[in-house]
Structure 1
Amino acid sequence: YDRSQARGRPFYYFAFGAACVEVVVDTLTGEYKMLRADILHDVGDSLNPAIDIGQVEGGFIQGMGWLTTEELVWNAKGKLMTNGPASYKIPAVADMPLDLRVKLVENRKNPEDTVFHSKAVGEPPFMLGIAAWCAIKDAVASMADYKVQPDIDAPATPERVLWGCEQMRQAAAQQQSAEQELETVTH
C-alpha cells in the first residue's frame, strides 16, 4: 500500500458481521435493558469455534459499552475525571443482553493464505455494538411514530435517553397539534 498515492491494498482481508439488538426503554427514567442480541460473524475457517464465539461476544459487549455506558468527563482544567472503576462505567453482567446469540458464518474459509484460512476475530466485532445504540434510538423514536429521530449522542446514558424521550414527547405533541389544526381547516 502506497499511503502517499492512496493506492494499493491496505488490508490483507476483511471480516464481516451483523448484529440485531432488541431493547426496552423506560420512557419516564431513560433507563433501558438489552433484551436480546443476535450476531452473525465471519471468522473464516474457525480454528476453535468456542473461542471465536467468546471473542465475538467480548468484542460486541465492549463496543456496546463504548456506545451506551462509557462516558468520558473532563473538568474545567482538562483533567479526565472518569479515570477509574469508581467513576468510569464499563458494562457489567446486568448490562448484558438477557439473550445473547452468536453464530459464525459456516463453510466460508478465508481465501487468503492465513493460518488454516481463518480470520482474526479479536477487534472486528467491536463495531457491532452500534446495533445497541441504534436499537435504543429506534425505541425512543417509536414515541413519535418514527417520524422524527431523537438526538441521542453516544454514549447513550440513561440521562441522554431521557432527553431523547422528552424530544419525542414534544415532537408527538406538535404533530398532534398540527393534525388537529389541519382537521379543523378541512371541516
Structure 2
Amino acid sequence: NRVRIGNQEIPFGDLVKQAYMARIQLSAAGFYKTPKIHWNRDKGEGRPFYYFAYGASCSEVSVDTLTGEYVVERTDILHETGRSLNRAIDLGQVEGGFIQGMGWLTTEELWWDDKGRLRTHAPSTYKIPLASDRPKIFNVTLADWSEANEPTVHRSKAVGEPPFPLGMSVLHALSDAVASVADHRICPRLDAPATPERVLMAIERLKREAV
C-alpha cells in the first residue's frame, strides 16, 4: 500500500489525495473509431471493413488409419500485417491465431443435451489445443513488402483475428489424407471439427464405399 517514486516513498492514500487536490486524473480511457465503414443490413450494401489482410497456410499431417489419431507434422504460413509495428508480437499473434483456428476445426466439438442446452460451453468442457498439439515444424513468415493502402497507424494492419482462418489448412490436409484411403476417388465428407473419432468414421466409410 505504498508507492515509491525515485527516492521518495509515500502511502498510496496520500498519493491519491495529492493527485485529487492537484486535479490530476488517475485514470484514462481511449477509443479508436475506425473510419470509412458503414453497412446497411437490409440492403446488404456498404463497406463493413476498412481494409483486408491476407495470408496463406500449408499443412502436412500423418493419420493413423486404424485409430483416426493424427499429428500435424508441419505448417508453413506467409501472412501480411501491413507495415508491422512489432514483428515479434505479430509473429506470435499469427502463431496463436493459427493454433486457435486449428482447434476450432479439429478438437472443439459442440454438444447439446436433450433440452437443447450447450454443454460444451467453456474450455473446461471441451478440448482446446495444447502446446503439444502445435505442428512439429512450424514456420511463420511475415511479408516484408506489405503496406496498408489506407492511412492506418503507421500503415499497419490488425493481426489478432485475421490468421484464424489459416487453420483450415489442417482440416484440408486431414481430408486429403483420409481421401487417400480410396485413392482420392471419393470425397471423404469429413465434418468439422475433425476429431479423431470423425476421422476414423470417415476412413471406415471410404473403405466400405471403395470396395
TM, length-normalised to structure 1: 0.88
- Aligned: 1:20 with 2:58: yes
| Aligned partner of 1:50 among 88, 96, 113 | 88
Secondary structure of 1:83's aligned partner:
coil
| TM superposition shift of 1:84 | 4.0
Q: Kindly provide the amino acid, as one letter, of the partner of residue 86 in structure 2.
A: N
Q: Which residue of 2 aligns with 1:11?
A: 49
The 5 Å alignment of 1:162-173 reads 162-173=200-211
CA distance change for structure 1 residues 2 and 140 in 2, over 3 Å: closer, same or farther? Answer: closer
Question: Which one has the bigger strand percentage?
Answer: 2
- Aligned: 1:76 with 2:125: no
Q: Which residue of 2 aligns with 1:132?
A: 170
Choose 1 or 2 for highest CA Rg. Answer: 2
- Aligned: 1:108 with 2:146: yes
| Aligned partner of 1:99 among 137, 146, 150 | 137
Q: Which residue of 2 aligns with 1:63?
A: 101
List per-residue Cα deviations over 1:86-108 (Å, max 9, x = no partner).
Answer: 43100002211111110111122
Q: Which residue of 2 aligns with 1:184?
A: none
Quote the Cα distance in structure 1 between the aligned partners of 2:125 and 2:138: 27
| Aligned partner of 2:160 among 109, 119, 122 | 122
Q: Which residue of 2 aligns with 1:178?
A: none
Structure with the larger RCO, 1 or 2 (CA within 8 Å, 6+ apart):
1
Quote the Cα distance in structure 2 between the aligned partners of 1:102 and 1:56: 8
| TM superposition shift of 1:83 | 3.1
Q: Kindly provide the amino acid, as one letter, of the partner of residue 149 in structure 2.
A: P
Q: Kindly provide the amino acid, as one letter, of the partner of residue 71 in structure 1.
A: E
Quote the Cα distance in structure 2 between the aligned partners of 1:84 and 1:110: 36
Quote the Cα distance in structure 1 between the aligned partners of 2:97 and 2:71: 19
CA RMSD of aligned residues (A): 1.3
Between the two proteins, the alignment pairs up a number of residues equal to: 173
- Aligned: 1:31 with 2:69: yes
| TM superposition shift of 1:14 | 0.3
List per-residue Cα deviations over 1:142-166 (Å, max 9, x = no partner).
Answer: 1111111112111000110001111
Structure 1 unaligned regions, length at least 5: 174-187
TM, length-normalised to structure 2: 0.78
CA distance change for structure 1 residues 107 and 87 in 2, over 3 Å: closer, same or farther? Answer: same
Q: Kindly provide the amino acid, as one letter, of the partner of residue 21 in structure 1.
A: S
